[in-house]
Amino acid sequence: MCNMTIQKFIKARPYLIWYVRDFEALSEEAVVEAVLNYGDFDDVKKIITILGIRKIAQIFKKHAWRKRSNYRPEIKNYFKLYFRKYAPSA
Protein backbone atom coordinates (compact mmCIF):
# COMPACT_ATOMS: atom_id res chain seq x y z
CA MET A 1 0.00 0.00 0.00
CA CYS A 2 0.99 3.59 -0.54
CA ASN A 3 1.60 6.49 1.86
CA MET A 4 -0.77 8.75 -0.07
CA THR A 5 -4.16 9.05 1.59
CA ILE A 6 -7.40 8.76 -0.28
CA GLN A 7 -8.13 12.46 0.43
CA LYS A 8 -4.78 13.58 -1.02
CA PHE A 9 -5.41 11.37 -4.04
CA ILE A 10 -8.81 12.89 -4.80
CA LYS A 11 -7.65 16.47 -4.04
CA ALA A 12 -5.04 16.03 -6.77
CA ARG A 13 -7.82 14.96 -9.18
CA PRO A 14 -10.73 17.40 -8.70
CA TYR A 15 -11.95 16.62 -12.23
CA LEU A 16 -13.14 13.23 -10.97
CA ILE A 17 -15.48 14.66 -8.38
CA TRP A 18 -16.17 18.19 -9.54
CA TYR A 19 -19.48 18.44 -7.69
CA VAL A 20 -17.92 18.34 -4.19
CA ARG A 21 -16.08 21.10 -2.35
CA ASP A 22 -15.04 19.29 0.82
CA PHE A 23 -12.77 16.45 -0.26
CA GLU A 24 -12.01 15.54 3.36
CA ALA A 25 -15.63 14.51 3.93
CA LEU A 26 -15.69 11.97 1.09
CA SER A 27 -15.92 8.31 1.95
CA GLU A 28 -13.74 5.66 0.36
CA GLU A 29 -16.85 4.38 -1.42
CA ALA A 30 -17.50 7.78 -3.04
CA VAL A 31 -13.89 8.10 -4.18
CA VAL A 32 -13.80 4.56 -5.61
CA GLU A 33 -17.06 5.19 -7.47
CA ALA A 34 -15.73 8.44 -8.96
CA VAL A 35 -12.44 6.88 -10.02
CA LEU A 36 -14.03 3.82 -11.61
CA ASN A 37 -16.68 5.91 -13.40
CA TYR A 38 -14.63 8.91 -14.53
CA GLY A 39 -10.94 8.16 -14.07
CA ASP A 40 -8.48 6.83 -16.58
CA PHE A 41 -6.58 3.61 -16.04
CA ASP A 42 -3.67 5.44 -14.37
CA ASP A 43 -6.14 6.75 -11.77
CA VAL A 44 -7.44 3.21 -11.25
CA LYS A 45 -3.92 1.82 -10.83
CA LYS A 46 -3.06 4.55 -8.31
CA ILE A 47 -6.14 3.96 -6.17
CA ILE A 48 -5.35 0.23 -6.24
CA THR A 49 -1.91 0.99 -4.77
CA ILE A 50 -3.54 3.14 -2.07
CA LEU A 51 -6.42 0.88 -1.00
CA GLY A 52 -5.53 -2.49 -2.47
CA ILE A 53 -7.37 -4.40 -5.17
CA ARG A 54 -9.35 -6.59 -2.76
CA LYS A 55 -10.78 -3.61 -0.89
CA ILE A 56 -11.73 -1.82 -4.11
CA ALA A 57 -13.34 -5.01 -5.44
CA GLN A 58 -15.33 -5.37 -2.21
CA ILE A 59 -16.52 -1.74 -2.38
CA PHE A 60 -17.46 -2.16 -6.03
CA LYS A 61 -19.33 -5.42 -5.47
CA LYS A 62 -21.18 -3.98 -2.49
CA HIS A 63 -22.43 -0.90 -4.35
CA ALA A 64 -22.59 -1.77 -8.05
CA TRP A 65 -25.48 -4.22 -7.86
CA ARG A 66 -27.83 -2.23 -5.67
CA LYS A 67 -31.17 -1.19 -7.05
CA ARG A 68 -29.96 2.40 -7.32
CA SER A 69 -26.37 2.54 -8.44
CA ASN A 70 -24.32 5.38 -9.90
CA TYR A 71 -22.08 3.06 -11.89
CA ARG A 72 -22.66 3.30 -15.62
CA PRO A 73 -23.61 -0.03 -17.29
CA GLU A 74 -20.37 -0.33 -19.28
CA ILE A 75 -18.33 0.42 -16.16
CA LYS A 76 -20.23 -2.21 -14.16
CA ASN A 77 -19.59 -4.79 -16.86
CA TYR A 78 -15.90 -3.97 -17.31
CA PHE A 79 -15.04 -3.97 -13.61
CA LYS A 80 -17.18 -7.04 -12.92
CA LEU A 81 -14.95 -8.91 -15.38
CA TYR A 82 -11.77 -7.18 -14.18
CA PHE A 83 -12.32 -8.00 -10.51
CA ARG A 84 -13.48 -11.52 -11.33
CA LYS A 85 -10.08 -12.09 -12.93
CA TYR A 86 -7.76 -10.12 -10.61
CA ALA A 87 -9.58 -10.29 -7.25
CA PRO A 88 -11.76 -13.40 -7.41
CA SER A 89 -11.86 -13.99 -3.66
CA ALA A 90 -12.90 -10.43 -2.76
Q: Report the C-alpha gap between 88 and 80 in whole angstroms.
A: 10
Q: Does residue 13 lie within any of the structural domains?
A: yes
pLDDT digits (tens, 9 = 90+) for 32-87: 999 999 999 999 999 999 999 999 999 999 999 888 889 999 999 999 999 999 99
- Overall pTM > 0.85: yes
Q: Does residue 46 lie within any of the structural domains?
A: yes
Q: Does residue 36 lie within any of the structural domains?
A: yes
Range of the domain at 65: 6-86
Q: Domain tally for the chain?
A: 1
Q: Report the C-alpha gap between 43 and 75 in whole angstroms.
A: 14
